Structure 1
Amino acid sequence: MPGQKILCVAEKPAIAKAVAQHLAGGQVTTHPIRGNQYVKNYEFDYNFRQWGNCSVTMTSVLGHLTGLDFDPKYKSWKSCHPRELFDANTVTTIDKDKKSVAENIQQQARHARVLFIWTDCDREGEHIGGEVRDQAKKGNPNIIVKRARFSNTEKAHVVQAAQSPIDMDECQVNAVAARIELDLRIGASFTRLQCLELQRLSETLHDQTISYGSCQFPTLGFVVDRYNRVRNFKPETFWLIKLTHTRDKIKVNFNWQRVHLFDRAAVTIIFEACLDDKLATVTKVQKKPTSKWRPLPLTTVELQKQGSRFLCMTSHQVMAVAEKLYQKGFISYPRTETDQFPREFGFEALIQRQTQDNSWGQFAQGLINGGFHTPRSGSHNDQAHPPIHPVNYAAASALDQNEKKVYEFVVRRFLACCSEDAKGEATDIEVRWGSETFHTHGLLVLQRNYLDVYPYDKWESSQQLPAYTVGETFKPTEANMVDGKTTAPGYLTEPELITLMDANGIGTDATMAEHIAKIKDRAYVDTRPRSGGGRNSVQEFIPTTLGVALIEGYDNVGLDVSVSKPFLRKEMELKMKAICEGRRSKTEVVQESLDQYREVFVKTNSQIGALRDAVTKYVVNGGRG
């Protein structure tokens, strides 16, 4: 007979169901909860190593259970000056549609000895676990609290997690609580100021929420900065020397070592001096083995970048689909900074599951038959989750169109990691003509290896170069002085934007896609396919007149550190990390960050005319400058 009762709580209904099925071995009773159609209670018996044979209730929440809001007296936007929101009283709230979920946890906890939390093993999941614990303790103040550490919903992995409970990480809970409070106070104060001051300037803005976010604005700033560089670009004429030589019916183009110069007279003098020398001399012929490295194991940032580049999806769509694939048990947890597999990782079983596929099954079999190479290790390890990888085989019929694309990318990336670098032979030839050096490069791909399964990388043999020997001379077949013009950079693409956000510490790997989606939702930017890219072209970002106006307006306020630049938010993210590592307290970080942003707010409020002028110039007068 089972002894004590254990209450298990997952972050999402799909995870609760998967864990219950794995632990129950089919002997599970399902009960709906009153007031919510999505959350179920699963009851079964299970023998835990730590607690013995127990009666288990497995249930879930639906993401965050609680929210932080201002005291109801601040609800009206005109109830106080926006600056007062930096210090206004806050209350923890539970949305109406989640009250039944909270009550279910309280009720189930009353008779339980242990609360076993199965929320996602990241910072946000830890905070959700804290919310669950708080509700459970309302029902049973003496309940023991543990959490499961897991990265996927595969049965053996779930059983291992069930047998190895760990303590919750209060530092991570506090870091998220700090972030939630800062986002509320900073976002609400600036958003109210912007709306109250700017909505009245134009009919088009009257009903528009002109929101502010400390990640949102630096993200928009990157887009506007590139837009301005493109708009302000002035092409310059340059000149260069082209040298060609035909041998064995092969036309070889030699590139000038100086590339090009902007002084026509100087290039003319150099070119005429070269013409005086009738023959060019071969000064270097080098053939050497070369490789194209297989990709590193897959992180969240890399999945978002490559997904938006190759899959015709936004980073937000890619992450939503990856989350679904994780919940269905097909891939590992899709939020990870780690690009190195642990030493004891079980590659063979995972590769074996992919051998049945019609597209990459043969390649996977080749790895099993001796082609396997231990994946390269990158320099990042978040100590929480392994790199993203396939867990179970998913037949194409089990997936929708977008799921197929993301799943295929994850599988191909994993198999490519476990393969061998592509091998080739590079040929470099240098010639001296007059006082100038010219060179050409050839590549012969000898073994494609990982490229056979990973079509997202390109590495092609160039035209075969004819034989040259050092010291020989030849008469150039053709030599010309030609001109050209510098070209503007392209508008920012989503992979480029994610790279900038990652390098500048804007958001976390899990939230970058949300910040990008937010500036689109707020009509601060539009997207369009990059011209000349064909049907599968990558999207590029163009700021709207409002987006340009907001960034220019804030820049004109004359802040010491502009809110359109990443520095303030990057500093805040570093402080969150310090809380996670136990080096700083939540209270001091919140106070310090609020003091910094309050200073920015006061200056913005006193110079609000600069923001109004920019919005009038671009939005009201209908020009981008």
Structure 2
Amino acid sequence: MSGGGRGGGGMKVLHVAEKPSVAKSVATILSRNSGGLRTREGRSRYNKIFEFSYSINGRPCHMLVTSVTGHLMELEFQDRYRKWHSCDPADLFHAPVHKFVPEDKLDIKRTLEEEARWCQWLVLWLDCDREGENIAFEVIEVCTAVNPHLTIKRAHFSALIDREIHEAVQRLVEPNKCFADAVDARQEIDLRIGASFTRFQTMLLRDAFVIDFTTDDRNLVLSYGPCQFPTLGFVVERYWEIQAHEPEEFWTINCSHKSDEGIATFNWMRGHLFDYTCAVIIYEMCVQEPIATVTKVRQQEKLKYPPYPLNTIELEKRASRFFRMSSEHTMKVAEDLYQAGFISYPRTETDSFSQRTDLHAIVQEQQRHPVWGPYAQQLLEPGSGLWRNPGNGGHDDKAHPPIHPTKFSSGESGWSQDHHRLYELVVRHFLACVSQPAVGAETNVEIDIAGELFSASGRAILAKNYLDVYRFESWGSSTIPTYVSGQQFVPTSLTLDSGVTRPPPLLSEADLLSCMDKEGIGTDATMHDHIKKLLDRFYATKDSNMRFSPTNLGEALVMGYDDMGYKLWKPYLRAVMERDMKAVSEGTKSKAEVLTTSLQQMKACFVDARLNKVKLFEAMAVFFERSNRSGGDEQHAAGEVVRPCGLCQESDMVLRRNRDGNFMVGCMGYPQCRNAVWLPGSLSEAVVTTNICNTCTPARDLVFEPCLIEGVLEYNVND
């Protein structure tokens, strides 16, 4: 196929978007007033090419718009290291890696090569985050290989709407190599750590135990990921807290007072006591002198503030809390809404609007809606007093604004219920964050009974303001009778009640996202993927209440690493890596520096874990039956240790038996170390011993020679 970019007048510009739908949207918007849009096929049937005429900063251009489908390249080890038994997993920390275009992306690569060959400019329309920047440099590598003279530009946009797209193409910038390097560092770190630990624990444990999560557990991969495991750690740690909780009884004094104005419930300001005798003594004092004296009446205005502008983590947490949507599904629906032009880019850490954002124009778009349209109109009325510039959440990724509506919709016919819900959440959240806080009048009353203090409070809502539109939140109104300082009364009821302490609940998805966000595990664009992997790998389950529990497999793995004393399941190591990768994106650290530091640290962890692998066996044995399958590493911990292996000098030699019943002594480092010797006869004829016979000649390989020691026929182990 010849390059279609040869025809047409003006400078030829190749535009590359991250997805076919984005390419179509960009081409459609830019071509509306430029003499028509022509479409033709590329090498890939899904990635079409759109052609039209346009002017960039007054310069006539022949525009060619096409796309990739996410990452164009993959990072992988060289072939000799790709098979699981080809090397020691520890070698993967320094084995050569390379980026390549996989088979299913070769047609996209050929399209880019054919079109780039005839163009003068390459404009990149990849998503404006680190991952998108990395994909941009993959495209650059392919295109400049056939045309090294290309002028390369980057389009920055946050929504697929006319104004954003036209502004982006007239304000092209340079691509950000630091962003791309940060992703390269993360990919390489995750590949090396994930592959080494995954191979290690899968080969060690899979065939040794009956793990019945699949029909054929020989195909089960016990994966390890540097973000995945700390995420599992949060789930297991909360589960252990619950298991360790011992209910403890406590006692509290409750007081109520009924008058013509209503009932007030007073809470004991001590809270509760665990000492029953002490609680009874205090209660009896109150019963003997039951006159309550009002010691303090405080009335004040209280404000309930609207939420900060919406970022990715808050979107996922609120969708989980309000609609019981998983974070993975939330991001899929949000991506659909973004690509259709209804919301801004949904992967952002930013929770504050810049002063350049026309907030009133966004509200104006929503005035036509039959449900929240009247509220939007009221917001814009100068005399309503409802408008308030949004708060600043303190986070800005310098790439995208907070998530907000970009186009009006009264409900698209092709949308699912979740599309409607998420769009409504984004709109109502935006309208709320530009609204005044709710106002309430709160009354607090304190009383004294026999020297014990009790308090009650009530609230009357004076103005709901943002709560009128943000139906997902409420602020209860509860009134209490009027009291004045010095007033006395006899309580209507005064009781000593018991209760028991309760454990914390299992983590919800919103809780888990909060833990990950607080500890720096993953990014706003990847957290939902790490949570999904826990479920896909059978490490955790999610119940009907959207709360997570570890499976036996997940708990066993965390327990094994915890027993080693190495906190590989804790967030600290990964949090440091995430901070380092952010430093690479900001240009304050180099990719090479971060790779060296992180991989040295994790290789030390790996070597330590392998030396203590018996702990993994012991933890797995708590939950799973031993398998009768042989081969691999399943009997490493079961056999009697004979002596250290003199061949690899890392592992022990242990006594094992194959499925035929014959005995051998082999290295625990199998399959990396294949040092092994089969014993002649049976154990009734020979006993393996670590005694060294002076008459036997040491050899490099392990050999067994019969000798007589203290009148017993034994096989002497020589190295």
Q: Fold match, TM over 0.5?
A: yes
Structure 2 Cα separation of the partners of residues 482 and 6 of structure 1: 78
1:9 and 2:9 correspond: no
What is aligned with 2:532?
517
**Could you say what secondary structure the match of 2:118 adopts?**
coil
Q: Size of the alignment, in residue pairs?
A: 609
1:609 Cα offset (Å): 1.0
1:445 Cα offset (Å): 1.1
Amino acid at match of 2:438: A
1:618 Cα offset (Å): 1.1
Amino acid at match of 2:429: R
1:208 Cα offset (Å): 0.8
Contact 2:261/2:480 (8 A) holds in 1:
no
Structure 1 Cα separation of the partners of residues 42 and 14 of structure 2: 15
**Could you say what secondary structure the match of 2:10 adopts?**
coil
1:112 and 2:128 correspond: no
1:442 and 2:458 correspond: yes
Structure 2 Cα separation of the partners of residues 527 and 403 of structure 1: 23
Q: Which residue of 289, 294, 297 corresponds with 2:301? A: 289
What is aligned with 1:221?
233
Amino acid at match of 2:405: P
Superposition map of 1:425-504 within 5 A: 425-462=441-478, 464-504=479-519
**Could you say what secondary structure the match of 1:17 adopts?**
helix
What is aligned with 1:121?
128
What is aligned with 1:533?
none
Please, what TM-score do these two structures have when normalized by structure 2? 0.83
Contact 1:430/1:440 (8 A) holds in 2:
yes
1:555 and 2:591 correspond: no
What is aligned with 2:601?
596
What is aligned with 1:162?
169
What is aligned with 1:534?
none
**Could you say what secondary structure the match of 1:281 adopts?**
strand
Q: Which residue of 51, 67, 89 corresponds with 1:43? A: 51
Amino acid at match of 1:320: K
What is aligned with 1:326?
338
Provide closer, same or farther for how the CA distance between residues 172 and 381 of structure 1 changes in structure 2, counting only shifts above 3 A. Answer: same
What is aligned with 2:375?
363
**Could you say what secondary structure the match of 1:53 adopts?**
strand
Q: Which residue of 65, 68, 72 corresponds with 1:65? A: 72
Structure 1 Cα separation of the partners of residues 424 and 271 of structure 2: 41
**Could you say what secondary structure the match of 1:37 adopts?**
coil
Listed one character per residue, the Cα deviations across residues 114-145 of structure 1 (whole Å, up to 9, x for unaligned) are 11111011000110001011111012011111
Superposition map of 1:128-277 within 5 A: 128-203=135-210, 204=212, 205-248=217-260, 250-277=262-289
1:385 Cα offset (Å): 0.7
1:566 and 2:571 correspond: yes
Structure 2 Cα separation of the partners of residues 257 and 222 of structure 1: 34
Q: Which residue of 7, 22, 43 corresponds with 2:29? A: 22
Structure 2 Cα separation of the partners of residues 395 and 145 of structure 1: 40
Amino acid at match of 2:40: H
Structure 1 Cα separation of the partners of residues 72 and 195 of structure 2: 21
Structure 2 Cα separation of the partners of residues 619 and 435 of structure 1: 59
**Could you say what secondary structure the match of 1:7 adopts?**
strand
Amino acid at match of 1:590: L
Deviates more, 1:573-582 or 1:88-97: 88-97
Deviates more, 1:263-272 or 1:394-403: 394-403
Structure 1 Cα separation of the partners of residues 324 and 464 of structure 2: 26
1:518 Cα offset (Å): 0.5
Q: Which residue of 398, 408, 416 corresponds with 1:383? A: 398
Structure 1 Cα separation of the partners of residues 387 and 547 of structure 2: 38
Amino acid at match of 1:467: T
1:528 and 2:543 correspond: yes
1:17 Cα offset (Å): 0.7
What is aligned with 2:361?
349
**Could you say what secondary structure the match of 2:624 adopts?**
helix
Structure 2 Cα separation of the partners of residues 111 and 199 of structure 1: 54
Contact 2:298/2:445 (8 A) holds in 1:
yes
Contact 2:235/2:550 (8 A) holds in 1:
yes
What is aligned with 2:675?
none
CA RMSD of aligned residues (A): 1.3
1:202 Cα offset (Å): 2.5
Listed one character per residue, the Cα deviations across residues 340-397 of structure 1 (whole Å, up to 9, x for unaligned) are 1111211222212212222211111211223332111211111111100000012313
Contact 1:256/1:437 (8 A) holds in 2:
yes
Deviates more, 1:269-278 or 1:248-257: 269-278
1:93 and 2:97 correspond: no
User: Which one has the bigger helix percentage?
Assistant: 1
Amino acid at match of 1:118: W
Q: Which residue of 308, 315, 321 corresponds with 2:320? A: 308
Amino acid at match of 1:458: S
1:620 Cα offset (Å): 2.5
Structure 2 Cα separation of the partners of residues 504 and 417 of structure 1: 27
Structure 1 Cα separation of the partners of residues 53 and 499 of structure 2: 76
Q: Which has the higher contact order (CA 8 A, sep 6+)?
A: 1
Structure 2 Cα separation of the partners of residues 57 and 511 of structure 1: 31
Structure 2 Cα separation of the partners of residues 338 and 282 of structure 1: 48
What is aligned with 2:618?
613
1:409 and 2:458 correspond: no
Rg comparison, structure with higher value = 2
1:249 Cα offset (Å): 5.7
Structure 1 Cα separation of the partners of residues 358 and 175 of structure 2: 27
Amino acid at match of 2:329: Q
Amino acid at match of 1:62: T
Contact 1:201/1:616 (8 A) holds in 2:
no
Amino acid at match of 2:125: W
1:577 Cα offset (Å): 0.9
Structure 2 Cα separation of the partners of residues 219 and 285 of structure 1: 47
1:75 Cα offset (Å): 2.2
What is aligned with 2:659?
none
1:272 Cα offset (Å): 2.0
What is aligned with 2:673?
none
Listed one character per residue, the Cα deviations across residues 226-247 of structure 1 (whole Å, up to 9, x for unaligned) are 1111111110000111111111
Structure 2 Cα separation of the partners of residues 486 and 284 of structure 1: 31
Listed one character per residue, the Cα deviations across residues 413-456 of structure 1 (whole Å, up to 9, x for unaligned) are 01111221111110100011111110001011121111111111
Amino acid at match of 1:245: H
Amino acid at match of 2:572: F
Structure 2 Cα separation of the partners of residues 356 and 343 of structure 1: 26
Contact 1:220/1:519 (8 A) holds in 2:
yes
Listed one character per residue, the Cα deviations across residues 61-119 of structure 1 (whole Å, up to 9, x for unaligned) are 10100000011112221111111111111121212111111111111111111111110
Amino acid at match of 1:604: A
**Could you say what secondary structure the match of 2:367 adopts?**
helix
Contact 1:549/1:619 (8 A) holds in 2:
no
**Could you say what secondary structure the match of 2:541 adopts?**
strand
**Could you say what secondary structure the match of 1:200 adopts?**
coil
Contact 2:77/2:97 (8 A) holds in 1:
yes
Listed one character per residue, the Cα deviations across residues 270-325 of structure 1 (whole Å, up to 9, x for unaligned) are 22222332311101111211111011100001001111111121011001110111
What is aligned with 1:577?
582
1:478 Cα offset (Å): 1.3
What is aligned with 1:278?
290
What is aligned with 1:31?
40
Contact 1:114/1:144 (8 A) holds in 2:
yes
Structure 2's unaligned 5+ residue stretches are 1-7, 628-719
Deviates more, 1:267-276 or 1:564-573: 267-276
Structure 2 Cα separation of the partners of residues 191 and 144 of structure 1: 43
**Could you say what secondary structure the match of 2:52 adopts?**
strand
What is aligned with 2:674?
none
Contact 2:261/2:482 (8 A) holds in 1:
no
Structure 1 Cα separation of the partners of residues 267 and 120 of structure 2: 76
